[in-house]
Amino acid sequence: MFQGEQPVVANQARVAQCGKPPVMPKLTPETQHARRERILDAAERSFARAGFHRCTMQEICREAGISPGALYVYFSSKEELIAGIVERDRNKLASELAELKNAPDLLSALAKLGEHYTIEEPLYKRVLCIEIGCEATRNPAVGEIYRSVDTFCRQNFAQVFERAREDGKIEPQDDSRTLAEVVSLIGDGLFWRRAVNPDLDVQAILPIIVRLVSTLLNPVEPSVQPASKAAKTEAAV
């Protein structure tokens, strides 16, 4: 994914093929899209505050400064609004992770991402991530979006590792996809801890996390630049 309006993960299962297609035309597409975004923003804040299922449509309308009638022009159900939130959020994550491929230094790029998502990102967004994952375990539409992005991200990680393997930076017996899964696990763990315990001192933890990940990534002598065909050192682990 490069910048642009296409989502990273194809819109298979285009959100909710509800009987009645929302009536759509007549406002210029840009303002149309802008209003959808505006509503999504309001919904995001509201959902983060109360959770998907304790948040009322009225509350979202209030937050967005519009009436229910207006809202239903853009989203034909609460369900669809939820799916819209999830889709937008996940696609953003996916495109950010996809950037990793271009990073000159994977490790510091990862650290930076971790820092971004756990420190700079406002609290309500972090809480929403958790809510989304939770919803994905029960709501089929959400689950499908969630898992498709998740799969994409892991494949992406795996490709990065595969490339690292070619540079001899990886223990040969380690499977790339398994490593990708481990990195995802650590990332998700970081999210989760941060959401659940807002006092978490991320700054203290990150260096250790980075050190851990680096043991997966750099069995090769450091400071020696990619001598292409892996020169394994004797010092095991």
Partner DNA sequence: TGAAACAAAACGAATGTCCGTTTTGTTTGT
Partner DNA sequence: ACAAACAAAACGGACATTCGTTTTGTTTCA
In the complex, minimum distance from the CB of residue 175 to DNA, in angstroms, rounded to a whole number: 44
Pick from 97, 67, 91, 83: nearest CA to 14: 83
79 binding DNA? (CB under 7 A) = yes
Name the helix (H) or strand (E) containing 216: helix 202-217
Residue 224 sits in the site that holds a second copy (CB under 8 A): no
- Binding-site partner at residue 69 among DNA, a second copy, none, CB < 5 to 8 Å by type: DNA
What separation in angstroms does the CA of 36 have from each of 1, 9, 97? 23, 20, 25
Closer to DNA at the Cβ: 26 or 138? Answer: 26
In whole angstroms, what is the distance from residue 20 CA to residue 51 CA?
27
CB of 42 to DNA, least distance (A): 12
Residue 47 CA, chain-centre distance (Å), reads 17
Dist CA 115 CA 227 (whole Å): 31
Q: 14, 26, 54, 229: which one contacts a second copy (CB under 8 A)?
A: 54
To DNA, the closest distance from the beta carbon of 144 in angstroms equals: 19
In this complex, which beta carbon is closest to a second copy, that of residue 58 or of residue 215? 215
What string marks each residue from 47 to 66 as x (binds DNA by CB under 7 A) or -? -------xxxxx------xx
